[in-house]
Structure 1
């Protein structure tokens, strides 16, 4: 089962219409070039529709990468090498976060790892300053 970030994307876009650009690019890169969607088809379709409706209000440095005809068709024809590195990095981050098992931090803290690291750092600081 594919994990999507629909709610996260929709919340970001609700806070700022300018977030339509990065989410469109991120979702497009993940789907069309990595074959690993980060948004459901329905969410992407709603994003495209909202973006098309709000086109004139959207201000973003990567807006020029979005083709209005592709947007209206609910697709993206941007070549892989045209996507900004920040978009590729965001996709990698989202995909990694979807792979991590939930509760990893809690388990590490319960094992005492966090306490031992903190104790080691404290001892190092005392040694350097003492």
Structure 2
């Protein structure tokens, strides 16, 4: 079952294993795919690459994500509607494996197994 958690924009922060981070990304189309075995959150980040101003922070951060995707450590989301949807999914399938899928258009789609963690009003999806 696929369900939209948010169609308009929300801030997304990422950290990498080499200690770099980005808090300039904007995600759209937060969608949740739920089964008894898997919970997958997909986030469309393509808009960061399609901005007119190619020197914008969001563009360079999206390019960095596409380039350093193998070093991704965690994704942080602060938007309450998305967090509520993830909590509901966890209650429906408490033993499911978690995944996150980041959609970067022509730059690629990157999928990671993650472990969710709630802290300080945010959800952190830590790459396993």
**TM-score > 0.5, shorter chain as reference:** no
TM-score in terms of structure 1 length: 0.30
**Structure with the larger helix share:** 1
TM-score in terms of structure 2 length: 0.31
